[in-house]
């Protein structure tokens, strides 16, 4: 399977994520512009006319500029890339699809079809990954968007307040635009979209800023959690030191730049003292070896085509609500074999067994399927699959150990024979 070719801007725009994002921005801008024009007919707000338009459209330009800068892509590992030193190949994973070794901090994205440099996550709103080259403009977009939404909310709310307080009464001839039910609904929709977008984007901005200050991507957070879990379970392992945390100041300067130009080539990174370029990849490879040992082969008992409608109709609303969002689901047929490596209460994740010819071409099929697909005939096998410890909190682990201890003591009590009762002497 050959690596995917770079997508054009038009093809990247033809996706529900960019269409929805740009449409919401358009509704907010149109509603704020309408409210501004109507407010300027009032004598009390005429003095802020030029300042308001300049501020509003400057912020709009910053939003769109940073948005389309992030559209440029995260940067990909070159096809057929390999380290300059042949001995370093043993410390890196090989990607059959990209026909190249995975550089440190890079991961293969099934949606982009390439290995992404310093991959953080695949964002549907820009229809590409957030990584080494576009994390800076993506964070700028997340900052300017809430600022513009809050400003638009103030303008629209001010217009509605003055409208319902009858300040526009007797000024119908001086208004540049009409006031009717449609324009009022437009203004209310602008307020609703602005508040919703500002709240959601601020949460995402907080996550991204935390990632920058710690110099950890979301995927690297997951790997570090599993590294800590491995050492709790096996104290003979050497302590793991995250090699890329250089301190908050240096971490910030490595990502945030006014020119939006990334630092470095995205392949070789500065590391802390005592670590090398491959300290993190060695730990990652060790985790994958344990993951393969933990996998269990199961036979599929029900069909699943991967669609949301099929999930809701065939498996119920609870399975539909708990659908994993960050990773894809895969279509699967009855009697297929899947190697399950982790599972949740209603979903399981695994690799589907495919013919050897497709494996040689670099094809792989892995993702989530409903647990009911393999529950009936394979419930005993599924119990052997250990949950990822990072998905459990410390309290949950303590509860689980207490529960196991209680069951063991309970079983011992059941095995011990009951003490014989003493009979009272009737003569006494």
For residue 175, pLDDT over 90 is answered with no
Cβ-Cβ contacts under 8 Å for 258 (sequence gap 6 or more): none
Assess whether pLDDT exceeds 50 at residue 162.
yes
Adjacent-strand bridge partners of 339? 297, 351
Domain edges within the chain = 9-214, 295-390
pLDDT band, residue 418 (cuts 50/70/90): very low
Please compute the mean of the pLDDT values over residues 153-177 and round it to a whole number.
77
How do beta strands 296-299 and 366-370 pair? unpaired
Sign of CA dihedral 289, 281, 93, 85: negative
**Separation of alpha carbons 349 and 344, rounded Å:** 8
Residues 356-367, mean pLDDT to the nearest whole number:
78
For residue 91, CA distances in Å to 120, 123, 224, 240, 266 come to: 21, 29, 18, 16, 17
Please give the helix or strand (H or E) that residue 63 lies within, else none. Answer: helix 49-70
Report the candidate in 214, 208, 224, 216 with the shortest Cα–Cα distance to residue 118: 216
Instruction: Respond yes or no: is residue 258 known to be catalytic.
Output: no
pLDDT at 420: 45
Is residue 31 packed enough to be buried (19+ CB in 10 Å), middle (13-18) or exposed (0-12)? buried
Crossing angle of the two packed helices 135-164 and 181-214, in degrees rounded to 10: 150
Query: Could you tell me which residues come within 8 angstroms of residue 304 by beta carbon, excluding any fewer than 6 positions away?
Result: 310, 311, 314, 329, 331, 332, 369, 370, 373
SS (H, E, C) 329-363: ECCECCCCEEEEEEECCCEEEEEECCCHHHHHCCC
385's tokens: 């699959």
**Contact yes or no for 296/385 (Cβ under 8 A):** yes
Give the C-alpha distances (Å, rounded to integers) separating 235 from 228, 231, 243, 287, 307: 10, 5, 20, 15, 43
Give the pLDDT score at 324.
86
Contact at 8 Å (CB) between 368 and 348? Answer: yes
Q: What's the chain's Rg over C-alpha atoms?
A: 29
Q: What is the pLDDT of residues 234-289, one digit of tens each?
A: 999 999 999 999 999 999 999 999 999 999 999 999 999 999 999 999 999 999 99
pTM (two decimals): 0.80
Contact between 255 and 136 under an 8 Å Cβ cutoff? The reply is: yes
According to CATH, the topology of domain 295-390 is SH3 type barrels. (2.30.30)
Share of the chain above pLDDT 90, in %: 51
Q: Which range is least confidently modeled, 134-138, 163-167, 380-384?
A: 380-384
- Which residue in the list 98, 109, 115, 123 is annotated as catalytic? 123
- The most distant pair of C-alpha atoms in the chain lies apart, rounded to whole Å, by 117
């Amino acid at each position: 399977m050959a690596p995917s070719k770079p997508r054009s801007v038009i093809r990247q725009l033809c996706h529900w994520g960019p269409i929805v994002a740009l449409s919401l921005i358009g509704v907010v801008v149109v509603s704020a512009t309408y409210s501004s024009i109507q407010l300027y007919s009032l004598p009390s707000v005429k003095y802020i006319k030029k300042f308001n338009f300049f501020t509003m459209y400057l912020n709009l330009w910053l939003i769109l500029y940073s948005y389309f800068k992030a559209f440029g892509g995260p940067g990909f590992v070159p096809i057929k890339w390999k380290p300059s030193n042949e001995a370093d190949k043993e410390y890196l994973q090989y990607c059959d699809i990209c026909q190249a070794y995975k550089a440190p901090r890079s991961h293969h994205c099934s949606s982009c079809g390439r290995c992404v440099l310093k991959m953080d996550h695949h964002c549907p709103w820009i229809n590409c990954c957030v990584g080494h080259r576009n994390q800076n403009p993506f964070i700028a977009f997340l900052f300017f968007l809430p600022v513009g939404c809050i400003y638009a909310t103030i303008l629209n709310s001010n217009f509605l307040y003055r409208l319902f307080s009858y300040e526009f009464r007797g000024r119908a001839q001086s208004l540049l635009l009409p006031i009717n039910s449609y324009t009022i609904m437009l203004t209310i929709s602008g307020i609703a979209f602005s508040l919703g977008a500002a709240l959601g984007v601020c949460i995402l901005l907080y996550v991204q800023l935390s990632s920058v200050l710690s110099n950890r991507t979301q995927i690297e957070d997951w790997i570090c959690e599993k590294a800590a879990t491995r050492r709790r379970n096996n104290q003979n392992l050497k302590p793991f030191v995250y090699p890329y945390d250089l301190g908050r100041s240096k971490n910030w300067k490595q990502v945030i730049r006014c020119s939006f130009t990334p630092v470095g080539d995205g392949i070789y990174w500065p590391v802390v003292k005592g670590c090398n370029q491959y300290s993190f990849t060695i730990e990652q490879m060790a985790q994958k070896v344990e993951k393969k040992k933990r996998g269990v082969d199961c036979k599929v008992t029900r069909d699943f085509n991967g669609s949301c409608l099929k999930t809701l109709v065939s498996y119920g609303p609870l399975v539909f609500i708990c659908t994993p969002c960050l990773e894809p689901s895969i279509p699967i047929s009855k009697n297929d074999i899947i190697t399950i490596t982790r599972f949740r209460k209603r979903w399981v994740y695994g690799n589907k067994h495919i013919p050897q010819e497709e494996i040689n071409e670099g094809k792989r099929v892995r993702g989530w399927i409903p647990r009911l697909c393999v529950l009936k005939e394979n419930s005993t096998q599924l119990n052997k699959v250990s949950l990822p410890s990072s998905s459990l909190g410390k309290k949950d682990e303590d509860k689980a150990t207490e529960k196991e201890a209680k069951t063991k003591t309970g079983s011992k009590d059941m095995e011990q024979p009951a003490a014989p009762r003493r009979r009272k002497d009737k003569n006494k």
